[in-house]
Amino acid sequence: MSSIAARMRSLSTLIGWSTLLFIAFATLAPIGDRPHIGAMSADMERFAAFLLLAGALAFAYPRRPWVVLIAVVALVIGLEVGQTFEPSRHGQPHDAVVKLLGALVGMTLAIIADKLVNRLRRAS
């Protein structure tokens, strides 16, 4: 693997795991502590967060897309259930669907990016 590709994978690993920690805090913290992005709806925030999470992890671990997918599905379910233990929060099936759609788009983009990186590496 070229040094640029290795650095991209390392950066993706850092972004993926950092995003997971941020998502866990934002999802399980009391609603008043939940960070907001001003111009985005809550659904867009959910979608974008899981797009970034799954995309970064899928790019970081290109040989394990099924592991990433299963882990993200388990995370979504676990976080939605976990919200029921915080009085100011509630888990909703709609929220889970939005998160899973974001994750699928992120993984798809990461798989495409990985194929492009591999093709460019082979061409050079």
pLDDT for res 123? 81
pLDDT for res 43? 95
Contacts of 57 (CB under 8 A, 6+ apart): 12, 13, 16, 17, 20, 68, 71, 72, 110
Tens of pLDDT, residue by residue, the chain (124 residues): 578 878 999 999 999 999 999 999 999 988 888 777 778 899 999 999 999 999 999 999 999 999 999 999 999 999 999 999 988 888 899 999 999 999 999 999 999 999 998 888 888 7
Domain boundaries, given as residue ranges, for the chain: 3-123
Give the whole-angstrom CA distance, residue 59 versus residue 11.
10
> pTM for the full model?
0.91
